[in-house]
Amino acid sequence: MIFSETRLLGAYTVDLELNQDARGYFARTFCQREFSEHGLIAHYPQCNVSYNRDKGTLRGLHYNRLAHEEAKLVRCQVGSIYDVIVDLRQGSPTLGQWLGIELSAQNHRMLYIPKGFAHGFLTLTPHSEIHYQMSEFYVPGAGLGLRYDDPGIGIEWPEAPRVISQRDRNYPDWHPEGEDD
């Protein structure tokens, strides 16, 4: 795996090293030792999958209350998405900044999202499937969110969302002074 730190401190892209032959390819998508060597969380007690039928589906921007923050390792296994993270960590030099990266079945890229970030994505193809490795167990009621089109953050989505849940559409704008825990 090839780890590249992004401009948002602590967030990494992880590219697979494909061992290819006439059959196809083989690649590791996770190695506890390599993640630990890069100072990244290497314990993922829960994995989730998100299937999205339509192109233009937006999910997010989601994060958890301080006491239940989670790191994520995200990979698009089928289709393509525009994956976005926003640094919400108080005291971070990149507080309030966002980053968008295309993750796809073709580029085999993953995104490591540290604790303290909001996360969301927009599907670029129909029938997209996203796999998440989560550093914490799901806690009902711990989830929060912020508006995907918050003018204070200014995310530049590659296209307007066509499918979005009422919950995600109605999240409030972000207030950098913090949130309740």
Q: Does the annotation mark 148 as catalytic?
A: no
Residue 159's SS3 state is coil
Residue 3: beta bridge partners?
14
Helix (H) or strand (E) holding 103: strand 98-104
Which candidate in 44, 108, 112, 132 is catalytic? Answer: 132
State how far the Cα of 60 lies from the Cα of 79, in Å rounded to an integer: 18
DSSP letter for 148, please: T
Name the residue type at position 166: Q
Q: Are 70 and 115 in contact (CB under 8 A)?
A: yes
How far apart, in Å, do the first and last CA atoms of the chain sit? Answer: 35
For 77, residues 6+ apart whose C-beta sits below 8 A from its C-beta are 105, 129, 130, 131
Q: Does the annotation mark 62 as catalytic?
A: yes
State how far the Cα of 85 lies from the Cα of 99, in Å rounded to an integer: 5
Which candidate in 12, 62, 68, 131 is catalytic? Answer: 62
Active site residues: 62, 132
